[in-house]
Every structure is written in structure tokens, then in C-alpha cells.
Amino acid sequence: MPLRYAPRDDNNIMKITAAQYAKTLYELTAEKSKNEIDKVIVNFVNILSKSNQLKNSGKIIANFSDIYNQENGIIEAEIMSARKLESSQVHKVESYLKNKYKVKEVVINNRIDEKIKGGIVIKVSDELLDASVARQLTNLKNKLSA
């Protein structure tokens, strides 16, 4: 009788996605001491190199940081402004975001973009709050030409 399915061997196991690797790594390292984590990391990298997954390490790291942030109530916010923000302004934005997303910690990454003319643009994952002067001017233009 002919074989219907190819026999499974170690080279033919199902592909593991970067997200799955990252999730496993998080579960192994959560609430462990520094020593234990170092051990886990070494083993993890060994497994990655054995299964030729080192090329995906960038993706795995990105996924890991997403999971870590989510589990620990951290969000990363990208803030665009025309001039450098003063620390009091940054604090205001921080407390606003903490309140809005109900998180413990906000990591703020401030960028300067003169094209927005003034005001502020806040981006958190795929949500965008555009309170720039440039945007308001376009809105006004659209309203006047309608």
C-alpha cells in the first residue's frame, strides 16, 4: 500500500511563528530571578540557532516587547511636535495617556517635525490623535471650499 502521508521527522515539524516564540519566551522568563533568566535566554538562543530561526530574531524581539508591554501595563507613545516639548508638557501628556489607556507606565518618544507647524500629534500603536495646526488648517480649508 502506498504511503498517503509523508512520515514526520525532526526536519518536518510544523513551522513555529515569531509570535509563538515570543510568547513562549515571555512565559519562561516572567517573574524569574536574573540568574534564571540568563540561563533561559542562552537555551532559547541555542534552540533558535538549531532550528535556523536566528534570522527571525528581530521579529521575535518586537513581538516579545509587545507582549511584555501588554502584560505589564506599559504603552509606547510617539509624540510629534513642531518644537521640543518642555518637561511639564510631557508630564501633562503622560498623565493624559495614563488615564486614557488605563496603564501604569507610558514610554514617550518625542520627535520634532516642523511640518505640523504647531500643536501636537500623539500616536499609540495604531491610534492617532492629530491636534496639529497643520491638520486644523486643512480642516478649515475643506470647510471653506465645501
Partner 1 sequence: MEKINGASKDYIIEQLKKQIENFQVKTQTEKVGTVIEVGDGVAKISGLSDCMASEMIDFGNNIYGVALNLEEGQIGAMILGNFENIKEGDTVKSTGKILSVPVGENIIGRVVSPLGEALDGKGQIKSEKFYPVEKIAPGVITRKSVSQPVQTGIKAIDSMIPIGRGQRELIIGDRQVGKTAIAVDAIINQKGQDLICIYVAIGQKESKIARIVAELEKHGAMEHTIVVVAGASDPASLSFIAPYAGCAMGEYFMDQGKDVLIIYDDLSKHAWAYRQISLILKRPPGREAYPGDIFYLHSRLLERSARLNEDFGGGSITALPIIETQAGDVSAYIPTNVISITDGQIYLESDLFYKGVRPAINAGLSVSRVGSSAQTKAMKKVAGKIRLDLAQFRELEAFAQFGSDLDEKTRQQIERGRRTVEVLKQDQYEPMSMENQVAILYALTQGFLDDVAVEKIAVWEADFHKYLKSSAKNVLNLIAKEKELSEGVIKELESAIKNFKEIYQNGN
What the block records as the C-alpha cell of 6 is 509523508
Contact, 81 vs 116, CB < 8 A?
Answer: yes
Q: What is the DSSP letter of 104?
A: S
Burial class (CB in 10 A: 0-12, 13-18, 19+), 88: exposed
Contact between 43 and partner 1 per CB under 8 A: no
- Give me the least distance between CB of 43 and partner 1, in Å please: 28
Contact, 108 vs 93, CB < 8 A?
Answer: yes
Give whichever of 78 and 94 is closer to partner 1, judged by the CB atom: 78
Residue type, 21: Y
Nearest to 67 by CA among 124, 103, 20: 20
| Secondary structure (3-state) at 67 | helix
| Secondary structure (3-state) at 108 | strand
Please give the residues from 80 up to 139 whose contact with partner 1 meets the rule CB under 8 A. Answer: 123, 125-131, 135-136, 139
Give whichever of 51 and 123 is closer to partner 1, judged by the CB atom: 123
Contact between 70 and partner 1 per CB under 8 A: no
| Residues that contact partner 1, how many (by CB under 8 A) | 14
Give whichever of 1 and 14 is closer to partner 1, judged by the CB atom: 14
Contact between 143 and partner 1 per CB under 8 A: yes
Contact between 69 and partner 1 per CB under 8 A: no
Give whichever of 65 and 136 is closer to partner 1, judged by the CB atom: 136
Which residues contact partner 1 by CB under 8 A? Answer: 123, 125-131, 135-136, 139-140, 143-144
